[in-house]
Amino acid sequence: MMDMYFGSMQNEECRIDGISQSWSVISNAGDNDKKYISMESLENHLVDREHGIIKLLDPPFEKGILNPGYIKAYLPGTRENGGQYTHSSIWAVIAEAILGFGNKAGEYYRMINPIEHSRTKEAAQKYKVEPYVIAADIYGQGNLAGRGGWTWYTGSGSWMYEAGIKYLLGLRIQKGILTLKPCIPSDWKEYSFRYQYGNTIYHVVVKNPNGQNTGIRKFVVDGQEVEEKQLQLTKNGGVHHIEVEM
């Protein structure tokens, strides 16, 4: 009996699966060069810029011998069967950020942001669901391509939050220590946010005068440069200003 694998170039269906592509990077299990190749393949085969989606897999399951379970019951291009399953599309954002590709991470994040699917009347009529919450899935094929499916999906919503706050803006808190590891588009010249820790407020401004994607040159807290580029947080009140230069 011949072995069958999902996400194999030998298949007629599901030659590529976005989960394995992204998680080879996120898990750090992939060989260093293969990580870059896997994400390039994801871009070439799963990123649909015309419809603003990142597909879960391609080609969809339909008539082939592979049996992935219940998702094959969906029409091709619907939900997990070759549409955008939003968990996976966000993992693509995170993987690009881990590799340091801030331009692609930012592009993908903007692409799957629901508000981007409703900027025009025509786009909203295609998308058809709420532009202010994350959809679990978006159709990926035929005349329904770009139409939203289930919405108010908390799992994908929390991953979207994680991707934006931790991997793009770079806010990391570990054992009460704040560090910043941004991975942003090179045309972002500055961004800011406020973070509350207990009763203490931290105003953070990140400046990017040289058009970098990653890396921190200076880390200044309340006017004093901190060589370690990190800060022990306190909960006892007060307001502090952190200014970072990339």
Q: What angle, 0 to 180 degrees and rounded to 10, lies between the N-to-C axes of helices 18-26 and 86-98?
A: 40
Task: List per-block mean pLDDT (blocks of 10 residues) for the chain, which spans 246 residues.
Answer: 53 82 94 93 95 91 77 82 94 98 98 94 95 94 91 93 98 96 98 96 98 98 97 94 98
Domains 16-167 and 170-245 share a fold: no
CATH no., domain 170-245? 2.60.420.10
Amino acid (1-letter code) at residue 151: T
- Structure pTM? 0.93
Q: How many CB atoms lie within 10 A of CB 119?
A: 10
Give the per-residue pLDDT at 2: 39
| Fold assignment, 16-167 | Glycosyltransferase (1.50.10)
Give the per-residue pLDDT at 7: 61
Instruction: Say if residue 114 is exposed, middle or buried (CB neighbours under 10 Å; 0-12, 13-18, 19+).
Output: buried
Give the per-residue pLDDT at 67: 75
Hey, is 97 helix, strand or coil? helix
Domain definitions of the chain by residue range = 16-167, 170-245
In sequence order, the β-bridge partners of residue 224 are 221
